[in-house]
């Protein structure tokens, strides 16, 4: 079975985790400091996607019923 994530993805996630640990990682929407491990991983994967790395598409939230 082929791997889901490419080298660029792992490098970006590693860099984002390092920035989070230093306290310099900021979220794009609000600009607040990121402290969540999961959010740091999501930011790294998002950056890798933007640069064309081998990353599966992001999961979409289910539609809300009215």
Residue 32 lies in a domain: yes
Kindly calculate the radius of gyration of the chain based on its CA atoms and give it in whole angstroms.
13
1 falls in which pLDDT band (50, 70, 90)? low
65 falls in which pLDDT band (50, 70, 90)? confident
pLDDT tens for each residue of 24-50: 999 888 889 999 999 999 999 999 999
Residue 64 lies in a domain: no
Residue 55 lies in a domain: no
- Residue 3 in this model has a pLDDT that exceeds 80: no
Residue 58 vs residues 24, 33, 49, 54, 63: alpha-carbon distances, Å: 24, 22, 9, 12, 15
Q: pTM above 0.95?
A: no
Residue 57 lies in a domain: no
Residue 29 lies in a domain: yes
Residue 60 lies in a domain: no
Residue ranges making up the domain that contains 25: 11-50
What local confidence, expressed as pLDDT, does residue 28 receive? 84
Tally of structural domains, the chain? 1
What local confidence, expressed as pLDDT, does residue 39 receive? 93
């Amino acid at each position: 079975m082929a791997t889901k994530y490419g080298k660029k993805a792992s490098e970006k996630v590693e860099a984002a985790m390092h920035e989070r640990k230093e306290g310099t990682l900021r979220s794009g929407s609000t600009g607040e400091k990121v402290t969540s491990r999961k959010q740091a991983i999501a930011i790294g994967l998002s950056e890798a996607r933007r640069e064309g790395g081998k990353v599966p598409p992001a999961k979409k939230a289910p539609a809300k019923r009215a």
